[in-house]
Amino acid sequence: MLSQLFRYGVIGVITNVFCYLIYLALTQFWGMPKVMMTVSYLLCAFLGFQANRVFTFNYDGQVGKAGIRFVLSHFLGYSLNFLILLSFVDHLGYPHEWVQAAAILIVALFLFLLSRFFVFSNKY
């Protein structure tokens, strides 16, 4: 599990730094942090599925079934991210840049656990 967590972390750092920079650029031009988080989240989710399926979890099961579990897991991850932004930016007034950076870490750990035990598990 530690080696998977390490590989997940490497992929996560690469994709999330890329997507966070996209998020910052989009919010710089158009504002709307939650809308731009949605756009960058979808991009990162797609990249993460491909990389983690092969590199992190060596999943050789049916891609379609894993894809459905992945979408469900990321719906939960997206919802968590959205609630974090809503709570800390809209209600508490913290800067969206810092809140989104923290949310990436929280959601990444949440999604690792779901990926490990649900999405890429050969039990399903």
pLDDT at position 94:
96
Full pLDDT tens readout for the chain, 124 residues: 789 999 999 998 898 888 889 889 989 988 888 888 888 888 888 888 889 998 999 888 888 889 999 999 999 999 999 999 999 999 999 999 999 999 989 998 999 999 999 999 877 6
- How far apart (Å, rounded) are the C-alpha atoms in residues 90 and 77? 19
pLDDT at position 36:
86
pTM of the predicted model as reported, rounded to 2 decimal places: 0.77
Q: Is 37 among the domain residues?
A: yes
Q: Residue count of the chain, please give it.
A: 124
Tally of domains in the chain = 1
Could you tell me which of 81, 66, 79, 75 has the C-alpha nearest to residue 118?
66
Q: Is 105 among the domain residues?
A: yes
Domain that holds residue 92: 2-119
Q: Is 109 among the domain residues?
A: yes
Q: Is 124 among the domain residues?
A: no
